[in-house]
Amino acid sequence: MIDQQRLWDERAAREYDTPGEGMFAEEVLQPTIELLTELADGGRAVEFAIGTGRVAIPLSAAGVAVSGIELSHAMIRRLREKVGEEEIPVVQGDMTTASAGRGFSLVYLVFNTIANLLTQDEQVECFRNAARHLATGGRFVIELGVPQLRSLAPGHRGTVEVSEPGYLLVDTYDTVRQQLISHHVRFGPDLADGADARISRTPQRYIWPSELDLMARLAGFELESRWSDWNRGVFTAESRSHVSVYRLADRG
């Protein structure tokens, strides 16, 4: 059993933000905010696993009323250093069960976060919780990577995804259980604690797009759109990620 509070602790929250770089780069955030604003269609939005507010804060600034759900106490504390409860209310809890209310136009999950739920049952419950939050016709948006199993060499269970000065990312796979562990190795003189190197691990359960679509149907959703990125690129067999938009069907 993974202790998610320990995984997403004070250090993780402190190191998560990289202003102007990586996930926080303008060229990444701008199309994300533009598309989510359009999909909210003038209504309220709730972010599952809101984290430190990477997406929620600029989305709120764009005029969308945003609420959040977040399991990690440390992530919420970091978010509160940047924005108050009156601007972006957050419920502490699990995104499979916690409730931020009802009648939302949009629920969204970004940057592979649904994969942090490590069983298929939990992932299905996440869809059902999204449905409970939405008004009929509301949308559930998920950004998720495509498992890169074709890159595995015969007899090997891992791939080097990033190799750059001071950082190495290695992904290992258990293809029977659909488990992926990202091993983050940071090294060099910039480590705050003076160590030569530090390793952290992020376990995930990867999901194929077709499996994700079936989870959606079980919760009453229909696939509305799928793109390769927030710029609405065409999703193909070579795409390494996707942005999938599900619409909640009429429950009558």
* Tens-digit pLDDT profile for residues 127-180: 999 999 999 999 999 999 998 888 888 888 888 888 988 888 999 999 999 999
Cα 241 from chain centroid (whole Å): 12
Res 153: pLDDT: 84
CATH homologous superfamily for the domain 4-147+207-248 = Vaccinia Virus protein VP39 (3.40.50.150)
Instruction: State the pairing for strand pair 104-109/134-145.
Output: parallel
| Ranges under pLDDT 50 in the chain | none
pTM over 0.85: yes
Res 227: pLDDT: 98
Res 151: pLDDT: 84
| 86 to 47, 67, 93, 108, 187: CA distances (angstroms) | 16, 10, 18, 20, 39
